[in-house]
Amino acid sequence: MKRYLNPDKASWPQILERPLFNAADLTGKVKAILDEIKSDGLPAIQKFTEQFDGVAIREFAVTEAEIAEASQLVDAELKAAIEIAASNIQRFHASQVTELRKIETSPGIVCWQKAVGIEKVGLYIPGGSAPLFSTVLMLGIPAKIAGCSEIVLCTPPNKEGKIHPAILFAAQLVGVTKIFKLGGVQAIGALAYGAGSVPKVSKIFGPGNQYVMAAKQLVSIADAAIDMPAGPSEVAVMADESANPAFIASDLLSQAEHGPDSQVVLVCNSEKLVDEVEAALAKQLAELSRMEIATKALDHSVAIVVNSEDEMVEMINEYAPEHLIISMNKYLEVAEKIVNAGSIFLGNYTPESAGDYASGTNHTLPTNGWARSFSGVNLDSFIRKITFQEITKDGIQNLGPVIEKMAAAEQLDAHKNAVSLRLKSLE
C-alpha cells in the first residue's frame, strides 16, 4: 500500500483516484459486441460465449434436471448456511415494504401511491474466478418480495458448459424463474435485447467486471434500466487507537481478493497503526489462495494518516466508498457524519464480509464514487410507484380556481379548459 502522511487537501483527489481502464477504448469494444447481439441474437451470443468463455453452447437455458443434479452436489452444511443467510436477507428486505396510505390533501381530493413490481428483471451473477452465489440471494430475494413476475438469471458457464452448483441451488431457493448459462457482455446484451430463449427484460441488476459495467451503462441509454453505474469493488476503513490491526488487515484483504482492479483505503490518525496493519497484511496475504490477485489490488491501494477525526470524515465523504468500516471508539458518533457511502460497518466486530453474505443487508452497492448519488440495491430497486388521485365534485369546486389561475399564467389554455368545463357542469 502507498502511504501518505497528512497530505494537503489539494492532493486528495489524486491520492483517492480509482484504478480504471481506458474508458473510451473499453466502451468502443463493448458497443461493437452489443451491436452484433442486437442485430444477430442467438448466433451472436453463441459466438461470443465460445470466444470469451471457451465453450460452445447451443441451448443456454438451464433445465430442471440440471438444477436437481446441482442441488445434490451442494454440501449439506453449505446449504444450511445459504438458507440462514437467505432468511436474514428476506427479513431485512421484507421490512422495507410500505403500506398503502391514502392522503386527503385538501377537502374532496384524495391521493395515494401504490408499489408495483417490475414485471421482468434480469439478474447478472459473476461466476468466473469466484462464483458469487451470495449475489443470487441479494438480488433474487428482493425481486421475489417486490412481486416481479419474471426473474431471469444469467451467469457464465465453466469450460464444461456448466454452472456452479451453489448458484443453481440458491437460484431455485429464492424463486428465480429462468436461468441461462451466459456471462459477460453477451449476457447483458441478451437481457437488454432478447436473444434466443433469453427474454428481454425491463431492468438489469448485478455486479461484474468493467466490461459488464460498460455494457450495462450502454444498454441503459435506450433499451433497459439498470440498478446503478458501478466499477470494481472497494472498501475504506476509518481507524483509531481502539482498532485491531489484524482485523483491519483482514477486511482490506477481503476486498483486495475480489480482483486486481479492486481498491482498499485505510484512513487513520496514527502511523504506528499503519505499520501494524502492514505487518498483519504481509502475514495474512501469504496464506491466501488468491494471493496474487490481492497483491495486485494492494499495489494501487493507499494508507492515509491525518491529524483529526474531522479530516478523516471529510476525506471519506470525498471518496464515497462502496463499503466503509468504522473501527473507532465513537463509531456511532462518527457514522452520523458520513453522508457518502454505500454500506457502513460499525465497530471492531462487524466485518464487511458479514454484509457480503449473511447479516441481511444487500451487498450490491454503488462503487467508483457513485455512493454520492445512488443507494445500494433494496426493495425499491425492484418496484415502480404509481400515483393515484381521486377528486370529488366538492374537490374540483374547491381546487379548480387554483388550477385555472396557474394554467392561465403558463398560457396553457387547454389545461385551464379541462377544469373550466367541469366547473361549469356543476353550476
Answer yes or no: is 300 a known binding residue: no
Which amino acid belongs to residue 223? D
| Angle separating helix axes 413-425 and 393-409, nearest 10 degrees | 150
Answer yes or no: is 415 a known binding residue: yes
In the block, cell 481478493 appears at 257
Which amino acid belongs to residue 420? S
66 tagged catalytic: no
Nearest to residue 192, comparing CAs of 227, 162, 168, 226? 226
Q: Catalytic residue among 311, 322, 352, 363, which?
A: 322
Residue 264, SS3 per DSSP: strand
323 tagged catalytic: yes
What is the distance of C-alpha 344 from the center of its chain?
15
Answer yes or no: is 51 a known binding residue: no
DSSP codes, 161-204: S---HHHHHHHHHHT-SEEEE--HHHHHHHHHH-BTTBPP-SEE
Contact 128, 208 (CB under 8 A): no
Answer yes or no: is 410 a known binding residue: yes
Answer yes or no: is 255 a known binding residue: yes
Answer yes or no: is 244 a known binding residue: no
Nearest to residue 74, comparing CAs of 124, 136, 123, 126? 136
Q: Catalytic residue among 278, 323, 352, 363, which?
A: 323
Answer yes or no: is 323 a known binding residue: yes
Answer yes or no: is 93 a known binding residue: no
Contact 233, 322 (CB under 8 A): yes
Annotated binding site: 124, 186, 209, 233, 255, 258, 323, 356, 410, 415
Active centre residues (catalytic): 322-323
| Residue list, annotated binding site for Zn(2+) | 255, 258, 356, 415
Annotated binding site for substrate: 233, 255, 258, 323, 356, 410, 415
Binding residues for NAD(+), as ranges, are 124, 186, 209
